[in-house]
Amino acid sequence: MTSPLLEIEGLQRRFGGERRLLRGRAPSVYAVRGVDLQITEGATLGVVGESGCGKSTLARMLVGLDRPSAGRIRLAGHDIHSGLGADGCVLPSTVQYVFQDPLSSLNPRKTVRSILSAPMIHLLGLHREARDSRLCELMEAVNLREEFLDRYPHEFSGGQAQRIGIARALAAAPRVIVLDEPVSALDVSVQAQVLGLLAELKNRFGLTYVFISHDLSVVENISDRVAVMYFGRVVELAPKGRLFAAPRHPYTRLLLDSAPVPGRRRIAGELRPVELPDPYAPPPGCAFAARCPRADAGCRAAAPSLSAGDDPAALVACYHPLAPGEAGEYAGDNTAPDKPAPDKPTENRSA
């Protein structure tokens, strides 16, 4: 059995909780609450979930921009944070990051040549001749002309700027690239081009991806396995085919049914008012229990852990998971089409 390239064990990130003069301890909140993941070399793990579930915080910890409050991250068996300085801001060359907004992530006062040369100098220690050769290789790899090297970021479109951001990540010769919503700020046609480029680069350079996104169609397109996060935890982890065809966690079912799909009939979604969990006073049990029609007293008493069912590769954190092919309780009235049938008169609502 192949050992995983990237191992995440019991990862937590807490914000707040510091002692304050004369005012006691500041309130604390956990953005990530005990995440366990394993990623094999050459694979793409997609991470999805609603806003505030902890996706971006997880991404920042993977690249060393943020230190975990507890747990550890291993890359090829070595602790990824062991070589960092006290501030935790030094990125290891083997793990690189592609930001969501390409233009704001590039220094407007630097040329593309200077931006791409920085990781080669500080992380690889390449001399000028080797840097110049690699600069040409990187521009060719991301389908940009060599003369663009002496231009500034504001001279590029969003898609071109994101290609430069990808080239900057490649400049350090990483083994793992963490992509945090890399195409969400781009037009749909440009998204397809960038996703195609990412697939080519993965095969060409033997890369491993962690792809963070809220767009389920993008995640389904690029990922091998998908982790679904809710309230700082992974609630389901499965191969993409299994997860999209037969999700087992009620939240995953709700997430998939909420995505707009052309030609699909409307769904009712959550028909009753729901109470989202309070991050400053988290529930003792499953965080999704207040929104889940299947929840019982046991769900509210203790949080379930990720466990396998009939498929060892598919893990779910739920005491009452959906059976394969089960629609779930969020399907609502799927008999009502998006548009009225042409042979039936429509009600006049103009009055």
What is the average pLDDT score of the chain?
85
pLDDT of amino acid 331: 47
pLDDT in tens, 107-149: 999 999 999 999 999 889 999 999 999 999 999 999 999 999 9
Q: What is the pLDDT of residue 346?
A: 40
Percent share of the chain, pLDDT over 70 = 83
Summary count for the chain: helices (H), strands (E): 9, 14
Give Cα separations from 147 to 112, 140, 152 (angstroms). Answer: 10, 11, 11
Give the pLDDT score at 335.
35
In DSSP terms, 75 is beta-bridged to: 6, 78
What's the Cα-to-Cα distance from 64 to each of 86, 91, 113, 141, 296, rounded to whole Å? Answer: 11, 6, 25, 26, 39
pLDDT of residue 90: 43
CA end-to-end span of the chain: 69
- The span from the CA of 304 to the CA of 281, in Å, is 18
The ranges assigned to domains in the chain are: 6-19+28-223, 251-316
Q: Quick: pLDDT tens for 59-85.
A: 999 998 899 999 999 988 888 776 554
Residue 305, pLDDT above cutoff 90: yes
pTM comes to 0.87
Please state which CATH class domain 6-19+28-223 belongs to.
Answer: alpha beta
- Give me the residues paired with residue 298 across strands: none
Strand 233-239's sheet: what is its strand order? 95-98, 176-180, 208-212, 44-48, 225-230, 233-239, 315-316, 307-308
Average pLDDT over residues 249-267: 79
